[in-house]
Amino acid sequence: MRLRIGSSWSELVAELSQELRARLDSPFAKVRVLVDSWAAGRLLRQGLAGLDGVCAGVTLFDPAEFARSLATSSGRDEEHRLWHGPRLTTAILEELDESDSPKLRAHLNRPGRRLAAAERFAGLFRAYLLHSPERLASWLDGEAAPAPFEWQPPLLRGTCERLGVDPVEHLSALVEQAAQESELTFLFGLRRLPAALSQLVLAARPEAGWFVGSAPEWAGLGGTADRAPSWVSVEYSHTPARQVEVLRDELTRRFAEDPTLQPRDVLIVARPERWTNLLNAVFRPGDTHPGRELRVARLVSGTDNPLFEATSALVGLAQRRATASEVVELLLHPMCAHWGFRDRPDELRRLVSDARIRWGFDAESRAAEGVGAFPENTWISGVDALLTGIAMGGEIGPRGVAGTETVTAGDLDLIGALAEVVGRLWRFVRSAREPRNVAQWCSLIEETMAALFLPDPASAWRGQQFTGWLRRLADLHSDSLCLLSCPEFSRLLNQFGAARPHRTRVGDGEIHVVAPEELVDVDRRVTFFLGVTDSRPQTLPDEALPLTDPAAELFEDLLGHARSSEKVTFIVEGYSGLTGAKRQPPVLVERLLRQLSVPVERHHHSPQPSNASAFGERPSFDPVGYRAALLAQDSDAPDARSRLRQEARTLPVELAAQSDVTLRELSLFLADPVKTFLRGRAGVRWLPTNLLDDSLSLDLAGLENWQVTSSFIEGRLAGREPAQLMRAAKAEQIGPPGDLGRRRLAEAGRRAEEVVAQANKLRSGAARKEPIDLKIDGVRLSGSIDIHGERLVHVAASSSSKPLLACWLQLLAATAIGIEAHAVLLRPGRDGVFRTQLSQPGREDALGLLARYLVAFQLGRNRLLPAAFQPALNLVREQSRGQFSLEQWRSAERNFKWSFPDPLWRVFYRQLPGQLFDDPPTELCPSGRGSSFERWAHWLYADLVMLGGAR
């Protein structure tokens, strides 16, 4: 074989082009060129076509493809697929099930080990064939292995017998086929070959080989060519996310410094499987950073067929809890778009939340997780609640589940689609609980896929492609009776999909990310190394035969990449991402730098893109970080929320006064003015982004406790029996399931019964409903109140102060229309019933207070009114008792001063309730002392505290 050692890839491509022009003297002449990888072959073909205008008659193979072509030519394609495909794994699995080896039995005794061990052993046997075919042949001939590897030869022989494949004989047949073929063969850049593949390559009798830098050891030839980059830098950064941000800045810097640089001249060397998500996020188009406009190719993990992703999620449901979030995520997958869920995602989440679906499809799913066979809050009971709600409202349906009252006729089509899909998912999950062989699993997946997923008509080929994969997987295991559980088949399916990785489209004019072993010798102007560390690939103790040294191979690959580039940049972790402490640079990087013998520039980067140090001598290109750094340097500059709050508090009063206001509207406004302000001024209606709850309740707390207690109180006041209310609460699926839930419901019923007993005593007088229709300063205030004798009796399920507001407003309205009465509020307390009695003010005082509240209502539609009821009332109470402490209000987030602020307040305040005291009064604030919050609180609620609302 003629050997040519060159110093650059492009130089050797030109020489190969000349050789091809000389040898291919006929339009029908052919030549095969063996290259290092598929990506290298793609670039080589582009290079040859660029020089000659066409690349005809040239077939490019990487070593694995060359072996497959020889298997096809020799009629051994089936044997090749059995040895190199997933059938080897399941054959080992069958052999393991029958093995009598004590070591294997002890190892496989743990759950989940069967398939993982079979995959590991399949990888070992393939590696043995590649690197030590002679030793593997001796094992197949009956030779034993020394301890502790004595179990491996019998396992190998049994597996090969099951497959009907002798891998060594198969390799010999491929070598013989290569020797028989007469096609002209060249080698180009084949850097590293294991023993078995080198036999195949040399048997093909290549006439010439072109290599960059040096001849490979496997060829048994000498020769070197010196190469080195002209410039090297090391960028010391922090966390992986920050390292990718530094990569983006340094890439932008290279393009800014050299206008002639093109994306195809740049390569990023990193492990794609580790950095895919971060790289895709940081280089996603659509931000102001100029680095986002760089043409960094998007990475795809494994296959890019969305049906494979959807099917993996489907199989995952059968082996996990099938939580509300997991199933909704599957329903919103593009492959489920024909069901209509993607057009109405918020409505779908609302329905699932209102139906109180948590996790599990049915009671059997719950029992499998060891929590008892409780049907409450499962997908089946949730769908029953939605269907019952459409047909019967909140009544209890025939299956014992109460209907969801929030559903409307407009939800009918969505509920119908959800019921159909959940039914099909349920059937699949029930079928997946039983072990099956691979062919049966593939049939079940294909059937379920056809029932659930529908590719876009323009992408119908994806369905055909995935169905073809499933059928090939089934064909490979047509003779296998090995039963796999759902988790085991899921792992096998993912392994089969990973065997078809997304191939990098190198040479398309983008910046590509490649693994260290890819495109090592290809010329480029700039190379970035990302994620180089000293962590060594783990060598497991079950390797009976000598294999490769991964650390040495990695060093050679990285060195080859560096020597193929004009400029090299290493981005490494130089500081702890948690503490910022300096760390020793990776020894591997220092070894590479010594080997290159080139002067090195070293740069240290800030822990955050918004740090001032990021914009020093070598400034970052991040405009958002720059603005944040400027704000951070100016200690007197208010933050964004403070500026927004100041603007909201001083907006001009432009909205026309609302002429009709109900008591309910007024009460809702005073409880939380921010909602009315954003809805009236900005048209904003806030809804929680995540309505789903995946956890099963173990107690009645918060909203659920209030719902149950409130329904018990209302039911008892309406004359319903406690047992009837208990059945209704259980049918509504509120609270924990089973006996625990019954005990919690009984406790809530007892508390409600105590409140109702006192309420019935106070409501002994004649009941009447009084209409409210007042004209106050040109505004009509309307509503109605219930009077029992001379009392307004309010009963609330909440122990907080919020119910006091509605009680107070109704007392003022009653007084304003001339009714003499006092108000009583009854609430559950820690030690029985908590009672608050409000005295009646004078009629003129009541009208004046209602006028104040209407003024606040009209102003609050135009400006932010920083006086929510709970913190305002607590402030007035404390100051009336002389117990006010500003330090306590500023000391803790979400403290007892304001237990649960509405999330909308976070638009304007960073720290609540402490920052309420930071706002100075505006020109429309009431007179008094202190901040705007203090003035509004006293103006609105001082009379309430004075007339009985002090506790």
Amino acid at 553: E
DSSP string, 346-404: HHHHHHHHHTT--B-SSHHHHHHTTS----TTSHHHHHHHHHHHHHHTTSB-TTS-BPP
How far is residue 221 from each of residues 61, 130, 548, measured CA to CA in Å?
22, 21, 20
Rounded Cα distance, 294 and 248, in Å: 9
Element at 572 (helix H, strand E): strand 565-573
Cβ-contact 129, 169 below 8 angstroms: no
**What superfamily does domain 306-498 belong to in CATH?**
PCRA; domain 4 (1.10.486.10)
Which pLDDT score, from 0 to 100, does residue 500 have?
52
Which residues have a Cβ under 8 Å from the Cβ of 89 and sit 6 or more positions away?
115, 118, 119, 122, 492, 495
Which pLDDT score, from 0 to 100, does residue 545 have?
73
The secondary structure of residue 519, as a DSSP letter, is S
Rounded Cα distance, 633 and 639, in Å: 12
In sign, the C-alpha dihedral spanning 926, 860, 665, 729 is: negative
DSSP string, 769-819: EEEEEEEETTEEEEEEEEEETTEEEEE-S--SSTHHHHHHHHHHHHHHTT-
How far is residue 603 from each of residues 232, 247, 475, 538, 541, measured CA to CA in Å?
11, 13, 56, 31, 41
DSSP string, 825-860: EEEEETTEEEEEEE----HHHHHHHHHHHHHHHHHH
Is 33 strand, coil or helix?
Answer: strand
Rounded Cα distance, 941 and 939, in Å: 6
Which pLDDT score, from 0 to 100, does residue 104 have?
81
Which pLDDT score, from 0 to 100, does residue 728 have?
82
Cβ-contact 559, 553 below 8 angstroms: no
Cβ-contact 463, 425 below 8 angstroms: no
Q: Is the peptide bond before 803 cis (omega within 30 degrees of 0)?
A: no
- Three-state SS string over 296-333 comes to ECCCCCCCCCHHHHHHHHHHHHHHCCCEHHHHHHHHCC
Residue 597 φ/ψ, nearest 5 degrees:
55, 50
Which pLDDT score, from 0 to 100, does residue 302 have?
59
Cβ-contact 12, 20 below 8 angstroms: no
Rounded Cα distance, 743 and 721, in Å: 17
Q: Which of 855, 856, 857, 769 is nearest to 813 (CA)?
A: 769
Give the model confidence (pLDDT) of 29-53 as tens digits.
Answer: 899 999 998 899 999 999 999 988 8
pTM of the model: 0.78
Q: Which residues of the chain have pLDDT under 50?
A: 501-502
Token couple for 44: 């080589």
Chain centroid to Cα 113, Å, comes to 27
> Whose structure tokens read 């206001």?
661
- Three-state SS string over 57-75 comes to CEEEECHHHHHHHHHHHCC
Which CATH architecture fits 1-226? 3-Layer(aba) Sandwich (3.40)
Which residues have a Cβ under 8 Å from the Cβ of 461 and sit 6 or more positions away?
none
Would the CATH topology of 306-498 be identical to that of 702-762?
no
Token couple for 83: 């040895």
Element at 594 (helix H, strand E): helix 587-596
Q: Which of 930, 813, 932, 807 is nearest to 879 (CA)?
A: 930
- Domain range summary for the chain, segments of one domain joined by +: 1-226, 231-301+504-605, 306-498, 660-686+765-949, 702-762
Rounded Cα distance, 550 and 846, in Å: 85
Fold topology of 231-301+504-605: Rossmann fold (3.40.50)
Cβ-contact 598, 231 below 8 angstroms: yes
702-762 has which CATH code?
1.10.10
